[in-house]
Amino acid sequence: KDQAGPSDQYILPSWFTTKYGNYRGFFPPDVEAIREGAQKPESLHAFPGDPALLKTAARAVADLKLEGLNGHLARVIVGCAGMSGPVFLDNAEFRHFAYTTWQVDGHDMESTAIAQVGWVNHVPVLIIRGLSDLAGEQAGPNEERLYLQLAAKNAAIVTARTLLGVSQAR
């Protein structure tokens, strides 16, 4: 019988194996996906970005200065790992679990779907995100609404510069 034991110790069913440990009883699995033309699904924990698009993005933002908070410049990072889930994440403990488990730098609710469709269909993918909050790491209430427009503006600038770099490379 599956049941929780004392102090958040879980007695798992005999058929269940966990690859990544758990966060408060949540045991994240890999994703099963089958690529076009393949005979069976693969087990993956991440869908890769396209190396050529990553290189183009890195060139496009090499000298870019973006508006940040309180007069500071925003940080532009190319090639970091992201994670998607079905919730708005505002939990510093889970954010820490995700970082220590997968070295994930950002979390959203959409990117994995885009990356999976690209991977399945052999279409190169590059995800560009503007992060608007620290997923529970900030002091006090989440200020996502305050920074949403700035994050969207910066993501649009990075996207435009990257697309320009792609078109110039052709």
- pLDDT (tens digit per residue) in 16-47: 888 888 888 788 888 889 999 999 999 988 88
Q: How confident is the model at residue 87 (pLDDT cuts 50, 70, 90)?
A: low
Residue 22 class from Cβ within 10 Å (0-12 exposed, 13-18 middle, 19+ buried)?
middle
Phi, psi of 10 (to 5 degrees): -110, 140
Q: Tell me the range of 69-78, 98-107, 138-147, 148-157 where mean pLDDT is highest.
A: 148-157
- Whether the pTM exceeds 0.85: the reply is no
Give the chain's mean pLDDT: 81
Main-chain dihedrals φ then ψ at residue 4, nearest 5 degrees: -85, 140
Listed in sequence order, the residues at least 6 apart from 120 whose beta carbon sits closer than 8 Å to its beta carbon are 33, 34, 35, 36
CA distances from 124 to 47, 67, 116 (A): 11, 29, 11
